[in-house]
Amino acid sequence: MGDPREPFVRELYNSMFDYARDNYPNFKLFFSLDLWAQGNALGGIPNLSHYQALLQDFKGHAAYLQGPNEKSFVSTYSSGGLHNTDWAKFRDSWGGEVYFVPGFGDTIGYNTSHPGKH
C-alpha cells in the first residue's frame, strides 16, 4: 500500500477483504506499507499517521491475518527513510495490538540501536 489517502484505497480494500471473507474464509490478507511510494507521493518523507485510520478499521476484519497472540499482522517494504525512533512510536501507538514485521534493513539508526529494541 502506497499512500492510504488515495480515494480508491478504502473501496478497494473493502472489496478485497469482504470478497476474501465471503468466498475464501481461510485466505487472509494483511497490510504491507510501501513507505517509499507514499514518501514519493508526498514529495519526501512518509507520514505513518496516514495509515492509522485504515489499519484501525481493517485490523479486526474477519479476513485480516492474525499473527501470534491474535495480533493483527502489519509489515513494510522498507523504512521509507524514517528513523528507528519513528518506527518505535508507530509500533507503540498500537499498544501491543499489532504484530509488526517491517523491512528495517535501510532504517536510519537501525543497526546502531539497542539490540532489545529491534
**Segment 60-116, tens digit of pLDDT:** 999 999 999 899 999 887 777 777 788 788 888 888 888 988 776 665 555 555 555
| Predicted model pTM | 0.78
Structural domain tally of the chain?
A: 1
Q: Is residue 59 part of a domain?
A: yes
pLDDT, tens digit, for every residue of 39-52? 555 566 777 888 88
Does residue 24 lie within any of the structural domains? yes
The range of the structural domain enclosing residue 95 comes to 9-111
CB 37 within 8 A of CB 2: yes
Cβ atoms within 10 Å, residue 114: 7
Residue 2 in any domain: the answer is: no
Assigned domain for 1 exists: no
Flag whether 106 is in a domain.
Answer: yes
Residue 3 within a domain: no
84 within domain boundaries:
yes
Confirm whether 13 is domain-assigned: yes
DSSP calls for 66-98? B-GGGPEEEEES--TT-BHHHHHHHHHHTTT-E
